Amino acid sequence: MRLGEVMTTHELIALILSCTAILFTALRDFIIPLFFRPKIFIRVNNDDCVEETEGVIMRNVGPVYSPKSRWLHLKISNKKGIYNKSAKNCRVKLFEILDSSGKNLNPSPFLLKWGVYENYKNDLAPGEYHYVDLVSENINIRNLLLQGPLPKRTGDKLVPGEYTFKVGVFGDNFSPLFKNFKIEFTENFGELKFIK
């Protein structure tokens, strides 16, 4: 078609269909995800996020004996709402462990396990929450225990004291969320807790 010529019916239909396709693609890929997306939160408190265990625990490999332990968990939730979507492939990563002097004791970030599923990624429907294992103490050992690939020297450094953990939550369909959590680990078993 040349400038000044009138469009034929076929050309007009093709133009309308092309514009409609572009509009729907933009709506689906850019506009709707701005409003309909997961809203992820990380919460901790010393009531819901602390657990003491002892005895036989069922694992994927069968029953395992566990001495008395105290766990601190992160509560990861997807807010319930009309405009929320399920959070897909949520992963929680520990970036830093800072001691009271500010020294980073974690040489390399690693993924944390979801408490119930014993895996490293999970979907969260709107209104759903799950716990992630952050750290634990054992009645027989006075070092903090982590569920991750820490070098032995790092684990030996996690003796009683105050620590700050920098954690991030990632997923396929939401922006990453980062938070810091302070914990206190004492010489006495059963006093491991989150602090403000």
- Quick: pLDDT tens for 96-128: 999 999 999 887 888 998 887 778 899 999 999
**What is the DSSP-derived secondary structure letter of residue 12?**
H
pLDDT for residue 75 is more than 90:
yes
The residue behind tokens 């399920």 is: 86
pLDDT for residue 34 is more than 70:
no
Q: Would you state the structure tokens that stand for residue 63, as one six-digit string?
A: 């029953």
- pLDDT, residue 149, reads 65
Provide mean pLDDT across the span 175-180. 95
Measured in whole angstroms, the distance separating CA 173 from the mean position of its chain's CA atoms is 13
Name the burial class of residue 31, with classes exposed (0-12), middle (13-18) and buried (19+) by CB atoms within 10 angstroms of its CB.
exposed
- pLDDT, residue 147, reads 72
- pLDDT, residue 188, reads 92
pLDDT for residue 31 is more than 90:
no
pLDDT for residue 193 is more than 90:
yes
On whether the 40-195 domain is CATH 2.60.40, my answer is yes
Contact indicator for 131, 74 with CB cutoff of 8 Å: yes
Pairing of β 122-124 and β 87-98: antiparallel
Contact indicator for 169, 176 with CB cutoff of 8 Å: yes
